[in-house]
Structure 1
Amino acid sequence: MLHTVVALTMMQIWTSRFGDCQPEPSESVKLRLVNGGSRCDGRLEIQYKGNWGTVNARSWDMPKSNVVCRQLGCGAVHQAFAGGYEEGSGPVFTPNIQCGGSEASLQECKSEPWGDTGYSHSQDVGIVCKESLKVRLEKGGSPCAGRVEVNYRGYWRPVYASSWDLQDATVVCRELSCGAALKAPHEYHFGKVFDYIITYDVNCTGTEAALRECQSEEWDFYTHPEPNYAGVICAGNSVARLVDGDSRCSGRVEIQHGDQWGTLCDEYFSLEDAAVVCEQLQCGAVKATPRDAYFGTGNGPVWKDNYICLGNESRLADCQVSAWSRISCSHGNDASLICTDEMWSVRLTEGESRCDGQVEVYDNGRWSRIQDNFWTINEANVVCKQLRCGVATSSYIASGYRGKEGPVWVTDLQCEGSESHLQNCSASIFNRSFSDFIGVGVLCSGE
């Protein structure tokens, strides 16, 4: 049920006294916000003398509301009004408190005696703290695409798209930890919804941490005859994995959004998309993209992200994402992928971090060290690039890596330094087993 919102104005502190109702300095004043969408918005209630009661809007102001939000761990105040929530019950207090707005709790404010005013509950104070203003994306097929909706006073409602642009979308993607903003669609791109809107004329600079920090019309419940809703398509985290295959480079394609893993629909999973996944997982080239849940059906959501990759990107997050298709997909359409698994995996060991140490290569089911008497900064740069460790700051041909019986690659790698993987360099290689050899090492600039 929607209620009439009455704006608060600054008023003189009401100085009437109420006998022995002065709260003791040692007495803890408990607060809560009720009948809102979270613990950070709702009708203000205070427990005093063992009883929970509401607060009348007379003599209440924004500095006091700011202290309430801070005391509840809900950030700063966003709005305060009278009569904006369902009417309360019990006593109606008018605590004569003088707050500057920076206090940690109401007990730190100057206070005169309290009492039950006998007023009706029609003017109970309501408060919306900023931490309650959550954002979500709906009807986009993933948590990182869809119609922008805000949880305001307990209701999820859309944002109107007047002046909506990519800067506004950038802030939403940042707030949801969904990577970069790719598009800012509007009208009814993500479906029509005949409902109240929350705000309009949103004007973000693109640097804000959350949508609530952007300039806009006052947040309230509005009606508008034209369906023009703000939408966002973010790149997402696009962390990929292959599951239930015969090796680490084959299986069902799964993508992580936030902390949730879901599958992709094979209808929109192209060879170019597959090539990027193989590259991202360091699994060589595409060998096959079997259909119809070849590696079994997954759990969780079926993301409707439609990646538009060129095939030369290093990860899915670098690809464009289109609006999700209207075709319904189930787990029976889970995308599958088999990569050639020919890419040499590389690691650095015995260093102080994963970006420092002796170079080892995984090939034919085992890790092998490298002996290369012509190792240069070019080869080192390729290792750092393959490990996503920046650039090489040092390369070593070091007898300090002597010891340890085991397989060793004796190589003559010749890299230009611009290759993305060691496998792309020209080389002559043969395997031997050494207990004493001169190894190669790399120190990279870092991730």
Structure 2
Amino acid sequence: MIGVIMNCFYSDDRLPRLISGDSQCSGRLEIRFGRTWRTVCDMHWDWNDASVVCHQLQCGVAVSLGKVAYFGEGTGLLGSDKFECKGNETRLADCPSSPVNQNDCTHMNDVSLSCSNESWSLRLTNGGSRCDGRVDIYSNGRWGRVQDSLWDISDANVVCRQLECGVAIAAYNFSKYGEGEGPVWLNDVQCGGNELHLRNCSSFALNPSLNESIGVGVLCSEHMQLRLSDGGSQCAGRVEVYYKGTWGSVCDDTWDLTDADVVCKQLHCGKAVHATLPSSCGSGSGPVWLEGLNCSGEESNLWQCPSPYWGSHDCSHKEDVKIMCSEHNELRLVNGMHRCEGRIEVFYNGTWGTVCSDALDPHDAEVICKQLQCGPLDHIKYSTLSFGEGSGPIWLDEIECNSQEWTIWQCQTDPWGQHNCYHRKDAGVVCSGGNITKGQPDSEKDCVGESDSGVIWLLVGGNTSCSGRVEIFSKNTSSTVCDDSWDMADANVVCRQKDCGSALLAIGGAAFGQGEGDIWFDELRCTGSESFLSDCPSSASLHPDCDHKEDASVICSGPEFSLTASPSTATGWDY
């Protein structure tokens, strides 16, 4: 898989501890790597990271994030990892991380942390951030659940206030975020909405005798997400921020490459490139959330950059920011008689380059024709006599597809730009779909991403057009999606692709009945910002370890969604 990096570590790696403080829940933060303990640099540490450490240490919530070695300087090694927690992970080891330059820090920058050390505390899990998710309560050394069939916006407001997440946008008394584990600590809470803590509500009671829960959840106004829209991949397009329950855009006043770098870094899309997307990619709708950003480039999230108040601006949507990151890629055939034959060119890191023909075989070329919606492969051109030599970098060599992938980005290949080739070996293909007249996507003229590799995506078996089993229809054959690792991020991509709003539920276990045919896209790992499900990393071939009992389904919030709708064969879903 292109661009995928795996980190391996011992089972006790990334184990945190707090030392030199007033209790086991405060002190200088140290993290175990292998057999050594290392301090953490405060330049790359934030409240989300701190929240995960306090949860993992069973110390409640983070209440103070001290810097400049408040609890004294360490003496051992300095940590070289930058953690990028959402704030709702169970362990620090669950957070994505990336290496940083140790020379940026000394022990004067050691992180100090104080947790609430309460006998009980709460958190939101299985959502998109620490301000979105299922309500979990910590008591008697265990995390447990909340059972409340009358959970409402007043109860949710208290949770958001206690977690410093603003106000409640939505309160869920169905299993939007999945069922939790452990005892049901809280039953039928009734808040007025003005309480500072959930324990201040009049009917609050810890009740360990209950053992079933319908899983209450909360979406708070400070829950924020970031995506790039209408650019053809998750790494190019219009910059959009989800805030206060609404997707909005960013104004281009004072916008520069440093601001764009923060966006690309946050989305794990590399670095920003100078190439810009054209105005034909379209303007956004809804609010313009941000204007006048002044990022330093060190921020982990766009909303950490200095800016005026949210929603305060004098911009129109004609000024929406559009960017391209280095991990954005496209595919085209050039110098042929029509768009379905020609020299293979790939767009990466802001530049068009070529593909080496040395190891190109029919399996690889079939995927190229499929991705370009050009029908089956006719033949491969291994010399440049027909389509000429390209210029610029030779981006790809040693491609290994099995012809079952939807895009070449899902095939195995050498790293970008690594090759032992010359332009006289630039590969070309001729696909059988020469009568297709649809215009060739061009990054300088058109917005790409308006279709998805020539396939039709369906939702089957639901009570509305925005719910059902996810199916792929291609060449008169239907296939389904395996529910291994199926989650809300994956479901959100499907709902957006079907113009059905956002996902309410990501359901596995063939909840809308079992499909037929092949099973595709096992172990999907979408971020939620992709334009199409085929843009997401996945195990890209047919998977005998899945059967149709594991078909994935979604329920979206689209205009036809009904609160009385329910999966036809599922149990335990309460609306």
Could you state the TM-score of these two structures normalised by the residue count of structure 1? 0.40
Normalized per residue, which structure has more strand? 1
